[in-house]
Amino acid sequence: MTETSSSASTPPSWPLQPGYREDLFRGTAEYYSRYRPAYPERLFEDLLARTGQGGLLIDLACGTGEIAIPLHDRFAHVQAVDLEPDMVEVGRRKAIEVDATNIDWSVGRAEDLVVTDPAQLVTIGNAFHRLDRPMIAERAGQWLDPGGFLAIVGSSTPWSGTESWQAIAVDVVARWSGEPGRPASPATATADSSAPPRRTHEEILREAGFLDVTEYRFPTPHAWTADEFLGFLWSTSYTASIRQNPAVAEEFEKDLRAQLLECEPSRQLQESIAHYYILGRKPNAR
């Protein structure tokens, strides 16, 4: 069942301005493609029922094609861009395997993308917080046809979960990474208490002129094995500092496996993943 919410959803830990290191996801493409839980089909069906299909889809920070590939046959053309060359290369390979020939892949910043044709839908999967949000919302408004849509698609992580094994995993990652309870730190984030309050994704979209901004939720049961969960962790920015040292990574894996097994002797790590999308509509032409 779809759950609808108009409440703010942006985690308060996200920075006012993006400043994430460009190498945070270097070397993660294969893990990302294999171990990131797929967005549920019912999320995509619900999204397309609201936005329509058949025109141009622009997928920003596309990763290895988690949105572009499942939706490629619903649109005449797909323009997909990601900052990380390895992500794009894996995405291209996956697209060839399913004959998704209408996807135009490019490497670069989403903020610098050149769009020559009006789009019906712009999507951003699990990455809006790493982009210049006001700029991207403004650019999306320029790229879209009147009445077109911007969709911010996302999923919860163990850092927002309530299962006991998730608390243990967060603690182990924090201990080994030196980043207590949060993703790898943005380079420019500060703890200045005089800074203005962080704006939610919904607020950013409304300030850019988008209408009917609403979040739609799709909670989905999921079970991990320890191997799968470790693969997921290696695909994230949370473990960037650990990944870079093979000896540390090996000891981290041993520690995490032991603690997860003690917590869950069944070896099944159960949770409910909160998949969602936030949708905004560009006003119709007057």
220 Cβ contact list (under 8 Å, min separation 6): 37, 40, 272, 273, 275
pLDDT at 14 over 60: no
In a domain, 100, yes or no: yes
pLDDT in tens, 200-232: 999 999 999 999 999 999 999 999 999 999 999
Residue 25: which of 188, 196, 272, 238 has the closest Cα?
Answer: 238
d(CA 286, CA 282): 12
Neighbours of 247 (CB within 10 A): 7
Neighbours of 259 (CB within 10 A): 15
d(CA 203, CA 188): 22
In a domain, 125, yes or no: yes
pLDDT at 11 over 80: no
Unique residue bearing structure tokens 């990763």: 63
What does the pLDDT read at residue 4? Answer: 58
pLDDT in tens, 76-110: 999 999 999 999 999 999 999 999 999 999 999 99
Number of compact structural domains in the chain: 1
Residue span of the structural domain in which 144 resides? 3-159+186-223+271-281
What does the pLDDT read at residue 244? Answer: 86
pLDDT at 7 over 50: no
- 3-state secondary structure at position 235: coil
In a domain, 92, yes or no: yes
What does the pLDDT read at residue 185? Answer: 36
Average pLDDT of the segment spanning 245-268:
95
In a domain, 171, yes or no: no
Tell me if 143 sits within 8 A of 120, measured CB to CB.
Answer: no
Domain CATH code at residue 105: 3.40.50.150
In a domain, 238, yes or no: no
What does the pLDDT read at residue 23? Answer: 60
Average pLDDT of the segment spanning 270-286:
93
Q: What percent of the chain has pLDDT over 90?
A: 77
In a domain, 229, yes or no: no
**Mean pLDDT for the chain overall:** 88
pLDDT in tens, 129-187: 989 999 999 999 999 999 999 999 999 988 888 999 999 999 999 999 886 554 433 44
In a domain, 181, yes or no: no
Neighbours of 258 (CB within 10 A): 12
In a domain, 41, yes or no: yes
Q: What percent of the chain has pLDDT over 70?
A: 84
Rounding to the nearest 10 degrees, give the CA dihedral for residues 42, 155, 144, 20.
Answer: -160
- Lowest mean pLDDT, pick from 4-18, 46-60, 77-91: 4-18
What does the pLDDT read at residue 9? Answer: 45
